[in-house]
Structure 1
Amino acid sequence: MRTATIGAGPRPGHLLVPALLACYLVWGSTYLAIRLALESFPPFFQMGTRFLAAGGLLLAWSAGRGGAWPTAAQWRNAAIVGTLMLGLGMGLTATAEQSVGSGLVAAFIAVVPVLVCLWGLLVGQRPRRLELAGMAVGLAGVLLLLRGASFGGSPAAIGCMAAATLAWSLGSVLSATRLPLAPGAAGFASEMLCGGAALMLVSLVLGEQPQWPPQTHAALAWLYLVGAGSLVAFSAYLYLLGHAPPALATSYAFVNPVIALLLGVGFAGENVSGAEWAACAVILGGVMLILRGKVEAKSA
Structure 2
Amino acid sequence: MVCILWGTTWVASKLGVKYMPSLQMAGIRQTLGGLCYVIFFLTKGARFPARKEWGSIVVLSLLNFALTNGLSTWGLKHITAGLGAIMGAIFPLWLVVIGLFSGSKTPARAIIGLLIGFAGICIIFGEHLQDFFNPDFRFGILISLAATWTWAFGTLYTKRKAASFNPYFSLGLQMLIAGVILLVFTQLVNTPETKSAVPFTAIPWQSWAAVAYLVIFGSVLSFIAYLYALQHLPTEQASIYAYVNPIVAVLLGWLLFAESISVFIVVGGLVTLAGVYMVNKAFKTLPAVEQPEAEGI
**Structure 1 and Structure 2 fold alike (TM over 0.5):** yes
1:1-300 equivalence runs, <5 A? 21=1, 23-121=2-100, 125-149=104-128, 152=132, 153=134, 154-180=137-163, 182-204=165-187, 205=189, 206-210=194-198, 212-297=201-286
Aligned-partner SS, 1:40: coil
Deviation at 1:83, TM superposition (A): 0.8
- 2:254–2:261 contact (8 Å) kept in structure 1: yes
Distance 1:278 1:159, change over 3 A: same
Q: 1:241: how far off?
A: 4.0
DSSP-derived class of the 2:203 partner: coil
Identity of aligned residues (%): 25
1:158 Cα shift?
1.8
| Contact 1:251/1:291 (8 A) holds in 2 | no
Deviates more, 1:281-290 or 1:207-216: 207-216
User: Displacement, 1:281?
Assistant: 1.1
What is the identity, as a one-letter code, of the residue corresponding to 1:113? P
Which stretch of structure 1 is more off in the superposition, 206-215 or 186-195? 206-215
Aligned equivalents of 2:103 and 2:206: distance in 1? 46
Q: Name the residue aligned to 1:11.
A: none
For residues 274 and 24 of structure 2, the distance between their equivalents in structure 1, rounded to whole angstroms, comes to 34
Alignment partners' CA distance in 2, 1:39 and 1:129: 43
Alpha-carbon distance between aligned partners in 1 of 2:104 and 2:168, rounded to the nearest angstrom: 27
Q: Secondary structure at the match of 1:296?
A: coil
CA shift for structure 1 position 242 = 4.2
- 1:13 maps to which residue? none
**Contact 2:11/2:252 (<8 A) preserved:** yes
Q: Could you tell me how far 1:181 is from its partner in structure 2?
A: 6.8
Q: Distance in 2 between matches of 1:183 and 1:259?
A: 32
| Aligned-partner Cα distance in 1 for 2:196–2:182 | 11
The CA deviation at 1:245 is: 4.2
- For the 8 Å contact 2:46–2:166, the answer to whether it is kept is no
2 CA distance for matches of 1:246 and 1:74?
29
* Deviation of 1:287 (Å): 1.4
SS in 1 for 2:286: helix
Amino acid at match of 2:147: A
- Please report the TM-score for the alignment, with normalisation by the length of structure 2: 0.85
C-alpha displacement at 1:121, in angstroms? 4.8
Q: Which amino acid aligns with 2:5?
A: V
Letter in 2 for 1:110: A
SS at match of 1:297: coil
Whether contact under 8 Å (1:59, 1:185) holds in the other structure is no
Unaligned runs of 5+ in 2: 289-297
- Per-residue CA deviation, residues 250-269 of structure 1 (Å, 9 max, x unaligned), is 33221110111011011221
**Contact 2:38–2:173, Cα closer than 8 Å, also in 1:** yes
Which segment drifts farther, 64-73 or 120-129?
120-129
Unpaired runs of 5+ in structure 1? 1-20
Post-superposition offset of 1:243: 4.3
